[in-house]
Structure 1
Amino acid sequence: MIGRALLALSALALLAFLVAPGPFAPLFQPFTRNNAPAIYTQTSLLSLTLSHLAIVAVAVAASTIVGLVLAVLVTRKAGREFLPLARTVTAVGQTFPPVAVLALSVPVMGFGTGPTLVALFLYGLLPVFENALAGLTGQPPQVAEAARGMGLTPRQRLWQIDLPLALPLLLAGMRLTAVISLGTATIGSTVAARTLGEVIIAGLLSSNTAFVLQGGLVVGILAVLIHHGFGALERRAGRRMGLA
Protein backbone atom coordinates (compact mmCIF):
# COMPACT_ATOMS: atom_id res chain seq x y z
CA MET A 1 0.00 0.00 0.00
CA ILE A 2 2.81 2.43 0.89
CA GLY A 3 4.53 1.71 -2.42
CA ARG A 4 1.36 2.37 -4.38
CA ALA A 5 0.76 5.58 -2.48
CA LEU A 6 4.29 6.79 -3.26
CA LEU A 7 3.82 5.93 -6.93
CA ALA A 8 0.53 7.80 -7.03
CA LEU A 9 2.09 10.84 -5.36
CA SER A 10 5.03 10.74 -7.74
CA ALA A 11 2.68 10.59 -10.73
CA LEU A 12 0.61 13.51 -9.43
CA ALA A 13 3.71 15.58 -8.68
CA LEU A 14 5.09 14.87 -12.15
CA LEU A 15 1.81 15.82 -13.80
CA ALA A 16 1.60 19.05 -11.79
CA PHE A 17 5.18 19.94 -12.72
CA LEU A 18 4.64 19.29 -16.43
CA VAL A 19 1.38 21.26 -16.57
CA ALA A 20 2.54 24.22 -14.46
CA PRO A 21 6.30 24.13 -13.76
CA GLY A 22 6.48 27.74 -12.52
CA PRO A 23 5.60 27.06 -8.86
CA PHE A 24 8.44 24.53 -8.67
CA ALA A 25 11.09 27.16 -9.48
CA PRO A 26 12.18 27.63 -5.82
CA LEU A 27 13.11 23.93 -5.65
CA PHE A 28 15.50 24.23 -8.60
CA GLN A 29 16.80 27.76 -7.95
CA PRO A 30 19.69 26.57 -5.71
CA PHE A 31 21.06 24.60 -8.67
CA THR A 32 21.42 27.68 -10.92
CA ARG A 33 24.24 30.18 -11.21
CA ASN A 34 24.43 33.87 -12.12
CA ASN A 35 20.65 34.35 -11.86
CA ALA A 36 20.00 31.84 -14.64
CA PRO A 37 16.37 30.70 -15.05
CA ALA A 38 15.41 27.79 -12.81
CA ILE A 39 12.77 26.34 -15.15
CA TYR A 40 13.30 25.38 -18.79
CA THR A 41 10.86 27.45 -20.84
CA GLN A 42 12.18 27.38 -24.41
CA THR A 43 9.78 24.53 -25.18
CA SER A 44 6.81 23.25 -23.19
CA LEU A 45 7.96 20.47 -20.87
CA LEU A 46 4.61 18.76 -21.31
CA SER A 47 4.89 18.71 -25.11
CA LEU A 48 8.47 17.41 -24.91
CA THR A 49 7.38 14.66 -22.53
CA LEU A 50 4.47 13.62 -24.75
CA SER A 51 6.76 13.58 -27.80
CA HIS A 52 9.35 11.57 -25.87
CA LEU A 53 6.74 9.01 -24.80
CA ALA A 54 5.32 8.76 -28.32
CA ILE A 55 8.75 7.98 -29.78
CA VAL A 56 9.37 5.33 -27.12
CA ALA A 57 5.90 3.80 -27.62
CA VAL A 58 6.38 3.47 -31.40
CA ALA A 59 9.85 1.95 -30.95
CA VAL A 60 8.67 -0.53 -28.30
CA ALA A 61 5.68 -1.54 -30.43
CA ALA A 62 7.92 -2.15 -33.46
CA SER A 63 10.48 -4.12 -31.40
CA THR A 64 7.69 -6.20 -29.86
CA ILE A 65 6.06 -7.07 -33.18
CA VAL A 66 9.32 -8.03 -34.89
CA GLY A 67 10.75 -9.82 -31.84
CA LEU A 68 7.56 -11.81 -31.26
CA VAL A 69 7.22 -12.78 -34.93
CA LEU A 70 10.84 -13.99 -34.99
CA ALA A 71 10.34 -15.95 -31.76
CA VAL A 72 7.24 -17.64 -33.17
CA LEU A 73 8.97 -18.48 -36.43
CA VAL A 74 12.04 -20.09 -34.85
CA THR A 75 9.93 -22.14 -32.42
CA ARG A 76 7.91 -23.72 -35.25
CA LYS A 77 9.20 -26.92 -36.82
CA ALA A 78 9.97 -25.28 -40.17
CA GLY A 79 11.98 -22.43 -38.68
CA ARG A 80 14.04 -23.99 -35.90
CA GLU A 81 17.19 -24.03 -38.00
CA PHE A 82 17.05 -20.23 -38.22
CA LEU A 83 17.33 -19.75 -34.44
CA PRO A 84 21.08 -18.88 -34.51
CA LEU A 85 20.47 -16.37 -37.29
CA ALA A 86 17.55 -14.79 -35.41
CA ARG A 87 19.67 -14.47 -32.27
CA THR A 88 22.43 -12.80 -34.27
CA VAL A 89 20.03 -10.34 -35.89
CA THR A 90 18.36 -9.36 -32.62
CA ALA A 91 21.73 -8.95 -30.90
CA VAL A 92 22.94 -6.42 -33.47
CA GLY A 93 21.22 -3.56 -31.68
CA GLN A 94 22.99 -4.43 -28.43
CA THR A 95 26.43 -4.61 -30.04
CA PHE A 96 26.15 -1.20 -31.77
CA PRO A 97 25.89 1.77 -29.38
CA PRO A 98 22.78 3.90 -30.07
CA VAL A 99 25.03 6.87 -30.79
CA ALA A 100 26.70 4.90 -33.58
CA VAL A 101 23.31 3.93 -35.01
CA LEU A 102 22.29 7.60 -34.99
CA ALA A 103 25.50 8.58 -36.76
CA LEU A 104 24.91 5.96 -39.46
CA SER A 105 21.19 6.75 -39.83
CA VAL A 106 21.38 10.53 -40.16
CA PRO A 107 23.08 10.56 -43.60
CA VAL A 108 20.35 8.25 -44.91
CA MET A 109 17.25 9.51 -43.07
CA GLY A 110 18.22 13.06 -42.20
CA PHE A 111 17.80 14.76 -38.84
CA GLY A 112 14.67 14.26 -36.76
CA THR A 113 12.74 11.42 -35.22
CA GLY A 114 13.62 8.73 -37.81
CA PRO A 115 17.19 7.93 -36.69
CA THR A 116 16.09 7.85 -33.05
CA LEU A 117 13.34 5.35 -33.83
CA VAL A 118 15.82 3.12 -35.69
CA ALA A 119 18.27 3.19 -32.76
CA LEU A 120 15.58 2.43 -30.17
CA PHE A 121 14.02 -0.29 -32.33
CA LEU A 122 17.34 -2.12 -32.77
CA TYR A 123 18.29 -1.66 -29.11
CA GLY A 124 14.96 -3.06 -27.91
CA LEU A 125 14.78 -6.19 -30.08
CA LEU A 126 16.88 -8.53 -27.96
CA PRO A 127 14.96 -8.37 -24.64
CA VAL A 128 11.61 -8.92 -26.37
CA PHE A 129 12.89 -11.73 -28.58
CA GLU A 130 14.66 -13.64 -25.81
CA ASN A 131 11.74 -13.35 -23.39
CA ALA A 132 9.23 -14.38 -26.04
CA LEU A 133 11.49 -17.30 -26.96
CA ALA A 134 11.73 -18.36 -23.31
CA GLY A 135 7.96 -18.13 -22.92
CA LEU A 136 7.26 -20.20 -26.01
CA THR A 137 9.86 -22.90 -25.32
CA GLY A 138 9.66 -23.12 -21.53
CA GLN A 139 6.16 -24.57 -21.24
CA PRO A 140 5.63 -27.90 -19.43
CA PRO A 141 5.50 -31.04 -21.63
CA GLN A 142 2.00 -31.73 -20.30
CA VAL A 143 0.76 -28.68 -22.19
CA ALA A 144 1.82 -30.13 -25.55
CA GLU A 145 0.30 -33.48 -24.66
CA ALA A 146 -2.98 -31.86 -23.63
CA ALA A 147 -3.07 -29.85 -26.86
CA ARG A 148 -2.56 -32.98 -28.94
CA GLY A 149 -5.21 -34.77 -26.92
CA MET A 150 -7.68 -31.97 -27.64
CA GLY A 151 -6.96 -32.27 -31.35
CA LEU A 152 -5.74 -28.69 -31.72
CA THR A 153 -3.99 -27.72 -34.92
CA PRO A 154 -0.57 -26.00 -34.64
CA ARG A 155 -2.18 -22.62 -35.35
CA GLN A 156 -4.89 -23.19 -32.73
CA ARG A 157 -2.30 -24.24 -30.18
CA LEU A 158 -0.25 -21.10 -30.91
CA TRP A 159 -3.16 -18.70 -30.40
CA GLN A 160 -5.04 -20.53 -27.65
CA ILE A 161 -2.19 -21.96 -25.55
CA ASP A 162 1.36 -20.93 -26.47
CA LEU A 163 0.94 -17.16 -26.74
CA PRO A 164 -1.31 -16.75 -23.66
CA LEU A 165 1.12 -18.78 -21.54
CA ALA A 166 4.08 -16.80 -22.90
CA LEU A 167 2.39 -13.44 -22.28
CA PRO A 168 3.86 -12.77 -18.80
CA LEU A 169 7.41 -13.27 -20.07
CA LEU A 170 6.67 -11.25 -23.20
CA LEU A 171 5.45 -8.37 -21.02
CA ALA A 172 8.65 -8.65 -18.97
CA GLY A 173 10.66 -8.23 -22.17
CA MET A 174 8.54 -5.24 -23.16
CA ARG A 175 9.11 -3.74 -19.71
CA LEU A 176 12.89 -3.98 -20.12
CA THR A 177 12.70 -2.57 -23.63
CA ALA A 178 10.45 0.32 -22.57
CA VAL A 179 12.65 1.34 -19.62
CA ILE A 180 15.84 1.09 -21.67
CA SER A 181 14.29 3.03 -24.56
CA LEU A 182 12.96 5.73 -22.24
CA GLY A 183 16.45 6.60 -21.07
CA THR A 184 18.17 6.05 -24.40
CA ALA A 185 15.69 8.27 -26.25
CA THR A 186 17.22 11.35 -24.64
CA ILE A 187 20.18 11.15 -27.03
CA GLY A 188 17.71 11.65 -29.88
CA SER A 189 17.84 15.38 -29.21
CA THR A 190 21.38 15.40 -30.60
CA VAL A 191 19.84 14.74 -34.03
CA ALA A 192 16.90 17.14 -33.59
CA ALA A 193 14.32 14.66 -32.28
CA ARG A 194 11.88 16.24 -29.81
CA THR A 195 12.74 14.45 -26.56
CA LEU A 196 13.50 15.39 -22.98
CA GLY A 197 17.15 15.23 -23.93
CA GLU A 198 16.65 18.79 -25.21
CA VAL A 199 16.33 19.99 -21.60
CA ILE A 200 19.38 18.05 -20.45
CA ILE A 201 21.53 19.23 -23.36
CA ALA A 202 20.44 22.85 -22.78
CA GLY A 203 21.52 22.51 -19.16
CA LEU A 204 24.90 21.07 -20.09
CA LEU A 205 25.57 23.75 -22.70
CA SER A 206 24.64 26.57 -20.31
CA SER A 207 26.11 24.95 -17.17
CA ASN A 208 22.63 25.10 -15.64
CA THR A 209 22.29 22.11 -13.36
CA ALA A 210 18.62 22.89 -12.78
CA PHE A 211 17.78 22.04 -16.40
CA VAL A 212 19.76 18.80 -16.21
CA LEU A 213 17.91 17.82 -13.04
CA GLN A 214 14.53 18.58 -14.59
CA GLY A 215 15.13 16.43 -17.63
CA GLY A 216 16.68 13.64 -15.58
CA LEU A 217 13.95 13.62 -12.94
CA VAL A 218 11.13 13.53 -15.47
CA VAL A 219 12.73 10.61 -17.33
CA GLY A 220 13.52 8.82 -14.06
CA ILE A 221 10.00 9.12 -12.65
CA LEU A 222 8.48 8.02 -15.96
CA ALA A 223 10.80 4.99 -16.00
CA VAL A 224 9.69 3.98 -12.50
CA LEU A 225 6.01 4.39 -13.38
CA ILE A 226 6.35 2.41 -16.61
CA HIS A 227 8.35 -0.30 -14.84
CA HIS A 228 5.67 -0.77 -12.21
CA GLY A 229 2.88 -0.51 -14.77
CA PHE A 230 4.27 -3.35 -16.84
CA GLY A 231 4.97 -5.29 -13.64
CA ALA A 232 1.29 -5.06 -12.71
CA LEU A 233 0.31 -6.29 -16.17
CA GLU A 234 2.73 -9.22 -15.85
CA ARG A 235 1.25 -10.27 -12.51
CA ARG A 236 -2.27 -9.96 -13.84
CA ALA A 237 -1.44 -12.04 -16.92
CA GLY A 238 0.28 -14.62 -14.73
CA ARG A 239 -2.75 -14.95 -12.48
CA ARG A 240 -5.07 -15.37 -15.45
CA MET A 241 -2.90 -18.19 -16.75
CA GLY A 242 -2.58 -19.79 -13.32
CA LEU A 243 1.17 -19.05 -13.25
CA ALA A 244 1.15 -16.91 -10.13
Structure 2
Amino acid sequence: MSWGNLVRLLALGVLGVFLAYPEAFAGFFSLFTKNNQPAIYNQGNLLDITLNHLLIVGAATLAATLIAVGLAIIVTRPFGAEFLPVSRSLANAGQTFPPVAVLALAVPVLGFGTAPTLVALFLYGLLPIFENTLTGLTNLPPAVTDAARGMGMTGWQRLVKVELPLALPVILAGVRLSTVISLATATIGSTVAARTLGEVIIAGLLSGNTAFVLQGGLVVGVLAVLIYDGLAALERRLTGRMGRLPS
Protein backbone atom coordinates (compact mmCIF):
# COMPACT_ATOMS: atom_id res chain seq x y z
CA MET A 1 0.00 0.00 0.00
CA SER A 2 1.37 3.41 -1.00
CA TRP A 3 1.87 6.26 1.44
CA GLY A 4 -0.85 8.22 -0.33
CA ASN A 5 -3.45 5.48 0.20
CA LEU A 6 -2.34 5.08 3.80
CA VAL A 7 -2.85 8.80 4.44
CA ARG A 8 -6.29 8.65 2.82
CA LEU A 9 -7.35 5.69 4.94
CA LEU A 10 -6.06 7.45 8.05
CA ALA A 11 -7.97 10.64 7.16
CA LEU A 12 -11.14 8.62 6.53
CA GLY A 13 -10.73 6.80 9.85
CA VAL A 14 -10.15 9.98 11.84
CA LEU A 15 -13.12 11.65 10.16
CA GLY A 16 -15.35 8.68 10.95
CA VAL A 17 -14.30 8.64 14.61
CA PHE A 18 -14.78 12.40 14.89
CA LEU A 19 -18.30 12.28 13.45
CA ALA A 20 -19.28 9.34 15.63
CA TYR A 21 -17.57 10.51 18.83
CA PRO A 22 -16.86 14.25 18.50
CA GLU A 23 -16.43 14.70 22.26
CA ALA A 24 -13.22 12.66 22.05
CA PHE A 25 -11.69 15.65 20.21
CA ALA A 26 -12.88 18.28 22.68
CA GLY A 27 -9.39 18.76 24.08
CA PHE A 28 -8.00 19.70 20.66
CA PHE A 29 -10.83 22.03 19.66
CA SER A 30 -10.84 23.72 23.07
CA LEU A 31 -7.60 25.37 21.92
CA PHE A 32 -9.72 27.46 19.53
CA THR A 33 -12.35 28.61 22.03
CA LYS A 34 -12.48 31.47 24.51
CA ASN A 35 -14.57 32.52 27.50
CA ASN A 36 -15.67 28.93 28.25
CA GLN A 37 -17.30 28.45 24.84
CA PRO A 38 -18.26 24.86 23.95
CA ALA A 39 -15.47 23.09 22.11
CA ILE A 40 -17.75 20.77 20.09
CA TYR A 41 -20.78 21.86 18.06
CA ASN A 42 -23.76 21.32 20.36
CA GLN A 43 -26.74 22.50 18.32
CA GLY A 44 -27.19 19.26 16.38
CA ASN A 45 -25.66 15.87 15.67
CA LEU A 46 -22.57 16.27 13.47
CA LEU A 47 -22.99 12.85 11.88
CA ASP A 48 -26.61 13.51 10.91
CA ILE A 49 -25.72 16.94 9.54
CA THR A 50 -22.85 15.49 7.49
CA LEU A 51 -25.01 12.70 6.07
CA ASN A 52 -27.71 15.20 5.14
CA HIS A 53 -25.06 17.42 3.49
CA LEU A 54 -23.84 14.46 1.43
CA LEU A 55 -27.40 13.46 0.53
CA ILE A 56 -28.16 16.94 -0.82
CA VAL A 57 -24.92 17.01 -2.82
CA GLY A 58 -25.50 13.50 -4.15
CA ALA A 59 -29.06 14.24 -5.26
CA ALA A 60 -28.06 17.49 -6.99
CA THR A 61 -25.06 15.88 -8.70
CA LEU A 62 -27.13 12.92 -9.90
CA ALA A 63 -29.76 15.23 -11.38
CA ALA A 64 -27.09 17.42 -13.01
CA THR A 65 -25.37 14.33 -14.43
CA LEU A 66 -28.55 12.94 -15.98
CA ILE A 67 -29.52 16.26 -17.58
CA ALA A 68 -26.01 17.27 -18.69
CA VAL A 69 -25.15 13.87 -20.19
CA GLY A 70 -28.56 13.71 -21.85
CA LEU A 71 -28.11 17.16 -23.42
CA ALA A 72 -24.59 16.28 -24.60
CA ILE A 73 -25.85 13.08 -26.22
CA ILE A 74 -28.63 14.94 -28.02
CA VAL A 75 -26.40 17.70 -29.42
CA THR A 76 -23.82 15.14 -30.67
CA ARG A 77 -26.48 13.35 -32.76
CA PRO A 78 -27.21 14.62 -36.28
CA PHE A 79 -30.80 15.56 -35.38
CA GLY A 80 -29.72 17.63 -32.35
CA ALA A 81 -26.58 19.38 -33.58
CA GLU A 82 -28.46 22.64 -34.11
CA PHE A 83 -29.35 22.75 -30.40
CA LEU A 84 -25.69 22.89 -29.29
CA PRO A 85 -25.58 26.71 -28.80
CA VAL A 86 -28.82 26.65 -26.79
CA SER A 87 -27.67 23.71 -24.66
CA ARG A 88 -24.32 25.33 -23.99
CA SER A 89 -26.05 28.56 -22.99
CA LEU A 90 -28.28 26.66 -20.57
CA ALA A 91 -25.29 24.92 -19.01
CA ASN A 92 -23.38 28.21 -18.77
CA ALA A 93 -26.34 29.93 -17.13
CA GLY A 94 -25.85 27.90 -13.98
CA GLN A 95 -22.31 29.24 -13.62
CA THR A 96 -23.32 32.78 -14.60
CA PHE A 97 -25.67 33.24 -11.63
CA PRO A 98 -23.96 32.93 -8.23
CA PRO A 99 -25.54 30.26 -6.00
CA VAL A 100 -26.53 32.95 -3.50
CA ALA A 101 -28.53 34.71 -6.23
CA VAL A 102 -30.21 31.43 -7.21
CA LEU A 103 -31.15 30.85 -3.58
CA ALA A 104 -32.61 34.35 -3.32
CA LEU A 105 -34.72 33.78 -6.43
CA ALA A 106 -35.77 30.25 -5.49
CA VAL A 107 -36.87 30.88 -1.89
CA PRO A 108 -40.00 32.91 -2.79
CA VAL A 109 -41.11 30.08 -5.08
CA LEU A 110 -39.93 26.97 -3.20
CA GLY A 111 -39.79 28.26 0.36
CA PHE A 112 -37.00 27.77 2.86
CA GLY A 113 -35.25 24.43 3.27
CA THR A 114 -33.54 21.91 1.04
CA ALA A 115 -35.33 22.60 -2.25
CA PRO A 116 -33.67 25.97 -3.07
CA THR A 117 -30.26 24.48 -2.25
CA LEU A 118 -30.88 21.54 -4.61
CA VAL A 119 -31.80 23.95 -7.40
CA ALA A 120 -28.67 26.06 -6.86
CA LEU A 121 -26.34 23.04 -6.75
CA PHE A 122 -28.02 21.45 -9.77
CA LEU A 123 -27.56 24.57 -11.91
CA TYR A 124 -24.01 25.12 -10.67
CA GLY A 125 -23.02 21.55 -11.45
CA LEU A 126 -24.29 21.33 -15.04
CA LEU A 127 -21.44 23.01 -16.91
CA PRO A 128 -18.43 20.78 -16.08
CA ILE A 129 -20.41 17.59 -16.70
CA PHE A 130 -21.90 18.88 -19.95
CA GLU A 131 -18.60 20.13 -21.36
CA ASN A 132 -16.71 16.97 -20.41
CA THR A 133 -19.39 14.74 -21.89
CA LEU A 134 -19.34 16.81 -25.05
CA THR A 135 -15.55 16.52 -25.22
CA GLY A 136 -15.65 12.78 -24.62
CA LEU A 137 -18.27 12.10 -27.28
CA THR A 138 -16.73 14.33 -29.95
CA ASN A 139 -13.14 13.11 -29.57
CA LEU A 140 -13.61 9.39 -30.03
CA PRO A 141 -11.07 7.49 -32.16
CA PRO A 142 -12.45 7.55 -35.73
CA ALA A 143 -11.20 4.01 -36.36
CA VAL A 144 -13.34 2.67 -33.52
CA THR A 145 -16.52 4.44 -34.57
CA ASP A 146 -15.97 3.46 -38.21
CA ALA A 147 -15.48 -0.16 -37.16
CA ALA A 148 -18.73 -0.03 -35.19
CA ARG A 149 -20.57 1.23 -38.26
CA GLY A 150 -18.91 -1.43 -40.37
CA MET A 151 -20.19 -4.10 -38.01
CA GLY A 152 -23.72 -2.91 -38.72
CA MET A 153 -24.40 -1.37 -35.29
CA THR A 154 -27.35 0.98 -35.07
CA GLY A 155 -26.90 4.49 -33.72
CA TRP A 156 -28.25 3.43 -30.33
CA GLN A 157 -25.93 0.41 -30.18
CA ARG A 158 -22.91 2.56 -31.04
CA LEU A 159 -23.85 5.03 -28.33
CA VAL A 160 -24.38 2.44 -25.58
CA LYS A 161 -21.69 -0.10 -26.48
CA VAL A 162 -18.94 2.09 -27.93
CA GLU A 163 -19.26 5.85 -27.45
CA LEU A 164 -20.37 6.12 -23.82
CA PRO A 165 -17.93 3.46 -22.52
CA LEU A 166 -15.02 5.18 -24.29
CA ALA A 167 -16.12 8.63 -23.10
CA LEU A 168 -16.83 7.47 -19.54
CA PRO A 169 -13.45 8.48 -18.01
CA VAL A 170 -13.82 12.01 -19.38
CA ILE A 171 -17.43 12.20 -18.22
CA LEU A 172 -16.40 11.01 -14.77
CA ALA A 173 -13.82 13.78 -14.60
CA GLY A 174 -16.62 16.30 -15.06
CA VAL A 175 -18.74 14.58 -12.41
CA ARG A 176 -15.74 14.67 -10.05
CA LEU A 177 -15.30 18.41 -10.52
CA SER A 178 -19.02 19.06 -10.16
CA THR A 179 -19.22 17.00 -6.97
CA VAL A 180 -16.34 18.81 -5.28
CA ILE A 181 -17.77 22.20 -6.24
CA SER A 182 -21.16 21.19 -4.85
CA LEU A 183 -19.66 19.90 -1.59
CA ALA A 184 -18.23 23.31 -0.83
CA THR A 185 -21.12 25.33 -2.28
CA ALA A 186 -23.76 23.37 -0.34
CA THR A 187 -22.65 25.11 2.87
CA ILE A 188 -24.49 28.26 1.79
CA GLY A 189 -27.72 26.28 1.85
CA SER A 190 -27.84 26.79 5.59
CA THR A 191 -28.60 30.46 4.97
CA VAL A 192 -32.03 29.32 3.74
CA ALA A 193 -32.52 26.70 6.47
CA ALA A 194 -31.16 23.68 4.61
CA ARG A 195 -29.45 21.23 6.97
CA THR A 196 -25.86 21.29 5.79
CA LEU A 197 -22.44 21.69 7.38
CA GLY A 198 -22.84 25.39 6.73
CA GLU A 199 -24.96 25.63 9.88
CA VAL A 200 -21.90 24.62 11.94
CA ILE A 201 -19.78 27.29 10.27
CA ILE A 202 -22.49 29.95 10.55
CA ALA A 203 -23.05 29.14 14.23
CA GLY A 204 -19.34 29.61 14.81
CA LEU A 205 -19.28 32.92 12.98
CA LEU A 206 -22.32 34.26 14.84
CA SER A 207 -20.97 33.27 18.25
CA GLY A 208 -17.32 34.03 17.54
CA ASN A 209 -16.47 30.37 18.19
CA THR A 210 -13.54 29.46 15.96
CA ALA A 211 -13.82 25.79 16.98
CA PHE A 212 -17.24 25.49 15.31
CA VAL A 213 -15.97 27.16 12.13
CA LEU A 214 -12.97 24.85 12.09
CA GLN A 215 -15.11 21.74 12.57
CA GLY A 216 -17.45 22.55 9.72
CA GLY A 217 -14.61 23.59 7.41
CA LEU A 218 -12.47 20.54 8.19
CA VAL A 219 -15.28 18.07 7.60
CA VAL A 220 -16.15 19.65 4.24
CA GLY A 221 -12.49 19.84 3.25
CA VAL A 222 -11.66 16.24 4.16
CA LEU A 223 -14.80 14.96 2.42
CA ALA A 224 -13.94 16.95 -0.71
CA VAL A 225 -10.39 15.56 -0.84
CA LEU A 226 -11.47 11.96 -0.20
CA ILE A 227 -14.29 12.04 -2.75
CA TYR A 228 -12.08 13.78 -5.30
CA ASP A 229 -9.33 11.19 -4.85
CA GLY A 230 -11.81 8.31 -4.95
CA LEU A 231 -13.39 9.46 -8.20
CA ALA A 232 -9.95 10.22 -9.67
CA ALA A 233 -8.82 6.66 -8.87
CA LEU A 234 -11.95 5.27 -10.54
CA GLU A 235 -11.29 7.51 -13.54
CA ARG A 236 -7.70 6.23 -13.83
CA ARG A 237 -8.90 2.66 -13.57
CA LEU A 238 -11.45 3.16 -16.35
CA THR A 239 -8.86 4.91 -18.50
CA GLY A 240 -6.47 2.01 -18.02
CA ARG A 241 -9.17 -0.48 -18.87
CA MET A 242 -10.05 1.40 -22.05
CA GLY A 243 -6.35 1.43 -22.96
CA ARG A 244 -6.16 -2.34 -22.63
CA LEU A 245 -9.07 -2.98 -24.96
CA PRO A 246 -8.07 -4.58 -28.27
CA SER A 247 -8.20 -2.17 -31.19
TM range (shorter): over 0.9
- Corresponding position: 1:180 with 2:206: no
Q: Does the alignment pair 1:192 with 2:193?
A: yes
Q: Distance in 2 between matches of 1:243 and 1:188?
A: 43
CA contact (8 A) 2:197 2:220 kept: yes
Correspondence for 2:109: 108
Matched, 1:229 2:237: no
Amino acid paired to 1:172: A
One-letter amino acid of the structure 1 residue matched with residue 242 of structure 2: M
Q: Deviations over 1:176-218 (max 9, x none)?
A: 0000000000000000000000000000000000000000000
Displacement of 1:233 after TM fit?
1.1
In the alignment, the residues of structure 1 paired with residue 231 and residue 24 of structure 2 have an alpha-carbon distance, to the nearest angstrom, of 31
Structure 2 equivalent of residue 56 of structure 1: 57
Number of the residue aligned with 1:66: 67
Task: List per-residue Cα deviations over 1:128-165 (Å, max 9, x = no partner).
Answer: 00000000001111122111111111110000000000
**Which position in structure 2 is the counterpart of 1:94?**
95
Q: Which residue of 2 aligns with 1:165?
A: 166
- Following superposition, the deviation at residue 33 of structure 1 comes to 1.1
Whole-angstrom distance in 1 between the partners of 2:18 and 2:148: 52
Which 4+ stretches in 1 moved above 3 angstroms? Answer: none
Greater CA drift, 187-196 or 230-239: 230-239
Q: Does 1:118 align with 2:119?
A: yes
Q: What's the C-alpha RMSD, in Å, of the aligned pairs?
A: 0.9
> Structure 1 residues 214 and 227 mapped into 2: Cα distance closer, same or farther (>3 Å)?
same
Q: How far is the alpha carbon of 1:243 from its aligned partner?
A: 6.9
- In structure 2, how many angstroms separate the alpha carbons of the residues matched to 1:14 and 1:135? 35
Q: How many percent identity over aligned positions?
A: 64
Matches within 5 A, 1:76-87: 76-87=77-88
For residues 74-109 of structure 1, give each alpha carbon's deviation from its aligned partner in whole angstroms, at most 9, with x where no partner exists. Answer: 000000011011000000010000000000000000
The code of the aligned residue for 1:141 comes to: P
AA partner of residue 71 (structure 2): L
Instruction: Confirm or deny: 8 A CA contact 2:40 2:212 kept in the other structure.
Output: yes
Q: Which moved more, 1:8-17 or 1:134-143?
A: 134-143
Q: Find the aligned partners of 2:242 and 2:81 in 1 and give their Cα distance.
A: 26
Of 155-164 and 230-239, deviating more is 230-239
Note the residue ranges of structure 1 that are not aligned, 5 or more in a row.
none
- After TM superposition, give the deviation of residue 110 of structure 1 in Å: 0.2
Distance 1:237 1:65 in 2: 20
TM-score using structure 2 length: 0.97
**Cα pair 2:23 2:40 within 8 Å, conserved:** yes
Q: Is the contact made by 2:176 and 2:231 (CA closer than 8 Å) also made in structure 1?
A: yes
**Scaled by the length of structure 1, what TM-score is found?**
0.99
Aligned partner of residue 241 in structure 1, secondary structure: helix
1:41: which partner in 2?
A: 42
**What CA distance in whole angstroms lies between the structure 2 residues aligned with 1:152 and 1:84?**
29
Distance in 2 (alpha carbons) for counterparts of 1:148 and 1:199? 55
Alpha-carbon separation, structure 2, partners of 1:91 and 1:210: 37
Residues 43-87 of structure 1 show CA distances to partners (whole Å, capped at 9, x for unaligned) of 000000000000000000000000000000000000001101100
Q: What secondary structure sits across from 1:194 in the alignment?
A: coil
Q: Map 1:128-147 onto structure 2 (within 5 A).
A: 128-147=129-148
Letter in 2 for 1:167: L
